[in-house]
Structure 1
């Protein structure tokens, strides 16, 4: 797969400047080495889609597209969410990172670590654009309620003729309608757009069966998410989950 067949091409317009601002923060050799191994070793292959730095420079938040993911194991997620915390006085820093299948999920992960939601909008000049209002609305909802769900499984097929990302989520609220969700993002390179849709399932088996069928080219229509009953409990995330969302199997 060539770079111009990715939804976030490496060629074309110059890549936005990527500065982690940790060059002088080498007071903890172990952390510095871990950060190099986990992030900066491939920084020339990371495309910053969104970044925000706090006014005091104590925190930085990044949504990064990893161009090396296409050469990793088939299906690997291609987006990195990175949170940096700096201690300039002691010349040290800490970092958290996770790899996720969709940019909106990376944004949600950062928002729930203190990044202002309005500050981590994706660069409109990078990558494909939402094809319709349904896509835009679902992306915004995932940013705000992403901590209500745990990611169980995902697969990104970067076939240029059928570039699709699937993600199976489990609702943290056991009373949620359609407790398992499947997100489907499809990229249209001819128009430079993508669509994002959501389906609701009662069991993880049903969600996985639908996802496998889609990858094999035999997808059925996505079942709608069941509406919440008036007698159901409201969907709320446990405080511990809101502060540190986990990524685990359903």
Structure 2
């Protein structure tokens, strides 16, 4: 299989890392994702990864319960760092070289994020895991994914989630919900589709960054997406 894309940004859902559990990290899911990333890495594809933290703590959920929003968001950023370190560990077991770069300085466990350093790691064939979002409260990891994708000059942003694409409604609650094969950025915004936050979609639209949404738990989907097969929903592009 020949890759269609040579450099990608993969956004992984933190909540999907729970597997069947209600909290935390499922080792089985993490190792499965690591194996799939290893397959893509073996194709010579340059890869950056942004990972969410919803399996541990979501800042917006803490704020809804009375916490200071900025402080809650910083806690959420640290949750993404935990996930990033777990993914790095799983990748090492698959013999895939990787580095964790954090937007918040936590030098004991991760390198500080510097764009030039990230690009050098990618050029040397390492998978770069971006932790702690943008380093700023009030911004989601979706926005961080769009930002990092543009910074590393990725050809596409892969948003890997628990569903197999973008639907007109929640497919679990509404069996009649329609799945879209493709959408424009404006359609996502005007229809209020909850695939990514508006800031991330607007940033992708401004710079023409395609976004592919697909199911990360279906075996082989990351490799299929990299090779240009018809999986999920393509936004823009």
* Bigger Cα Rg: 1
- Name the one with the larger helix percent: 2
- Name the one with the larger strand percent: 1
Higher relative contact order, structure no. (Cα contacts within 8 Å, ≥ 6 residues apart): 2
Do the structures match in fold with TM over 0.5?
A: no
